[in-house]
Amino acid sequence: MPHIRRPPKRFIGNDTTAHTPTTPEEHYRADFFKVLDTVDMQLKERFHQSGLTILAKLEEVLLTGELDTAVVDQYPELNQRSLKVQLDMFKLQYPFKSTSEAAAILRSQLPEVRGLFDQVEALIRLLMVVPAASAEAERSFSALRRLKTWLRSLVTVHNRSDYWRKKWPYDFRFQGDRMSRDRFGAIMWSLHLSNPEEDEENDRKRNTAEYDRLFKIKPLYTDIVAACKAHFQPYQNISIDERMVASKARISMKQYIPDAVLDYNRSMGGVDVSDALIGYYSVLHKTIKMVQDFFLPLYGHCSGEQLPSPQGAVQDEE
């Protein structure tokens, strides 16, 4: 049960109180009738349509043999005089009670015999093909879209960029509607950490001693290790301008200076860069150079050197 809420007085007035259900049955009764009303309204909107009424009358023409001129005139492929004669002959020779039974009878006939009832066949085709509800129409369009996708998958083009061309005879709308050409090239370029052909060869060695479980990430692993060894060198970025440390040793020729100047790397503002960790990360202006020298070549190599980059492989649209 929900919490009791008092509505504003401008809605209920000063002398009345809002209705509050006392039991769960009373509370959900209103929602139950709302569901029934919604279902009833949707059924009426979907099935009480003029198109369905015409189809129902057209089916009565097939089952009873009595022509409805107002309905038959809406279909130019039907001839009233020929349809009347063929329906009488068809019902006399082949008794049936539904459209599916009449369609089964036509399928079992020889082409020569079926040609005698061409108008009956056209009527049955109309009843079998025309969608009876919006759901069937939506399924038909979905099936057509899947058929187009399958047909396009059979087409072979010379270059990958041809799938994004707009001129005839290409005009493949499926690829262009999903993503751009450059985005597809970048994704395909970055998905391969190893050579696909070598990867397939390694998969054939599965369950053997020669199989390498880390084969797909081995280029990434080896390049990271090699790059870290080449670029990570402690103390390489430490730079000290002056360092004067006071000493308490008393020498006859020198005087003790208690306030000696300690100047560590003036560019760092007096930070003690003698610490190796601070010293390595102190030179911030080398960060961009490190990214260009380390991460970008690493990204290209791990993506597969045999695979061309999106900028080089994808040609301009014509």
* Within a domain: 3: no
Please tell me whether residues 152 and 178 are part of one structural domain: yes
pTM confidence score: 0.35
> Residue 1 falls within a domain, yes or no?
no
Those residues with Cβ within 8 angstroms of residue 115's Cβ, 6 or more apart along the chain or in another chain: none
Per DSSP, the three-state class of 144 is: helix
Q: Provide the residue range defining the domain that includes 83.
A: 50-129
Residue 318: inside a domain: no
Tell whether 305 and 228 lie within a shared domain: yes
Q: What span, in angstroms and rounded, lies between the C-alpha atoms of 85 and 119?
A: 9
pLDDT for residue 242: 45
For residues 88 and 145, membership in a common domain is answered with: no
Query: Within the chain, which residues score under 70 in pLDDT?
Result: 1-2, 12-18, 130-142, 144-145, 148-149, 151-155, 168-176, 189-193, 232-318
CA-to-CA dists, residue 76 to 69, 79, 119, angstroms: 12, 7, 11
Q: What is the pLDDT of residue 212?
A: 86
Would you put residue 172 in left (φ > 0), alpha (ψ -120 to 50) or beta?
Answer: beta
Measure CA 23 to chain center. Answer: 46
Domain presence at residue 2: no
- Clarify whether residues 65 and 110 are in a common domain: yes
Domain-terminating residue out of 142, 164, 191: 191
pLDDT at 283: 47
Residue 237 maps to a domain: yes
Q: Structurally, how many domains does the chain consist of?
A: 4
Whether 293 and 245 map to the same domain: the answer is yes
The alpha carbon of 79 is separated from its chain's Cα centroid by a whole number of angstroms, namely 49
